[in-house]
Amino acid sequence: MHKKIALIRGDGIGPEIVSSAVRVLDKIASVFNHDFTFVEAPMGGNAIDTFGEPLPQSTIDTCLSSDAVLLGAVGGKKWDSLPGVLRPESGLLGIRKAMKVYSNIRPAVLYPSLKNRSPLRDDIAEKGFDLVIVRELTGGIYFGERGYRKGKFGREAFDTECYSEIEIERIVRSAFEIALTRSGKVTSIDKANVLESSRLWRYVFHEVAQDYPNVSTEDMLVDNAAMQLAKNPAQFDVIVTSNMFGDILSDLSSALTGSIGLLPSASLGDSTVGIYEPVHGSAPDLSPNTANPLGTILSAAMMLQYSFDMVSEADSVKSAVQQTLNRGFRTADIFSDGNILCSTSDITDKILQFIK
């Protein structure tokens, strides 16, 4: 099978971790008799330096004509002083909008071999967890009306949280479909005791739930959800929530796994063409060849599963990652006494050995 993959390498550690994922995809292509073509698509700080803007039209065109997009990370101190619309992160928002992706899927798994790296208490970590956060990606406060105005205490800024029924329904339905392939439970996170937008969210959630009688449901306020993730993450299967709440809770869940460098994500819309990227940022202060590429490699596994329907191939990558960790190979962020310290390229080499 032939697939065209757009590569947005990005900034900081982005190029290194994307290169690791490409090596893994090349091995998958060889083992399973596929043909992957990779096309470069500049975005973020490097695009600003080269083209004067974070998201050139040529990058949008490349991504729209591809079967999937693999993204490293964008941003860095070098561009922090630029106006908001010219910062690298605006390119990320722009490509999501251009590709009409609205469902951000973020799995978080505590691997048995990494329980000692989790900040969770030992008896909680011992139970482990395997959950998925489904975050609405193109609505809410990040995209609502914003600005400055004169208020009763002088100048004030405002950002508006706004959700339509359609936006809520499509993300909630995505969560239910994922739950059907897992343990069959969806927890909806909101702030319905305060926010009108959350009240509509909760109403639509229960409307959609009627179409999925075999999936159990639960409502939870976001402040309680943060506490429950720290106290008992094993209670969760699929979490669905708004853009801002999902942004915050997914970073919390990543910390519980032992390192944010382990977490992948997929951003999907109504088609199978998605954006796949690790949850972490560009980490420009890291020394070369020291970054953890596992989040990006696992993002490539999600690409195989969700965009290409290559389930066996995705399982092979995930199994190779777990076998690598089980044998004690670690990058610096997850290293402990008794482990074998690896560079970015070294741990990628180990993963390649286990792909079958």
Residues known to be catalytic? 142, 191, 223, 247, 251
How, if at all, do strands 216-221 and 130-136 pair? unpaired
**Largest separation between any pair of C-alpha atoms in the chain:** 67
Among 254, 303, 246, which Cα is nearest to 68's? Answer: 303
For residue 81, give both structure tokens.
């002083």
- Rounded Cα–Cα distance for residues 89 and 294 (Å): 22
Q: Which residues of 118-154 are buried (b: 16+ CB within 10 A; e: fewer)?
A: bebeeebbeebbebbbbbbbbbbbbbeeeeeeeeeee
Neighbouring CB atoms inside 10 A of 61's CB total: 13
Cα dihedral sign for 293, 294, 300, 303?
Answer: negative
Residue 264 · residue 296 · CB < 8 Å: yes
Among 44, 60, 66, 18, which Cα is nearest to 299's? Answer: 18
